[in-house]
Amino acid sequence: MKLYKLIAQTVAWKPNANWEHNRDKLLVYIQKSLLPSGSGIDCGTKLCETLGKNGSFKLTLEFHHMNENGMYDGWTQHEIIVKPDLQFEFVMDIRGKDRNQIKDYLGDIYDACLREEVDDEKLKKELWK
């Protein structure tokens, strides 16, 4: 299953008392192990559960910028709204300041990440040890 489908299904999952812990565990695993972290996305990516309508979800991140001398020189905050699309599987709306055309870079990174296949067997082993 592709990562964007796993996220959409997990966000839309209505937990009951018996399954709530498993859902929360899966959300934490997705954030820590499957979403981008590092290479400027130094605080990782957060998965927000607040959208969840029609299979959509929101990711938030902060990007740590460098200047031409390789020195860190500030942060920008971004939201990525991911919505289902019949033609392209999903579309992303990247919000936040487009400092140094960072939105193009983020679009490439998150598009590739969300289209990755998740290894179901590895996921089961990690979550249900």
**Positions of the chain with pLDDT lower than 50, given as ranges:** none
In the numeric block, the tokens 């299979």 are attached to 55
Report the alpha-carbon distance of residue 49 to residue 30 in Å, rounded. Answer: 12
pLDDT at 110: 98
Q: What is the pTM of this model?
A: 0.88
Report the alpha-carbon distance of residue 28 to residue 16 in Å, rounded. Answer: 18
Joined together, the tokens standing for residue 45 give: 């990516």
pLDDT at 61: 97
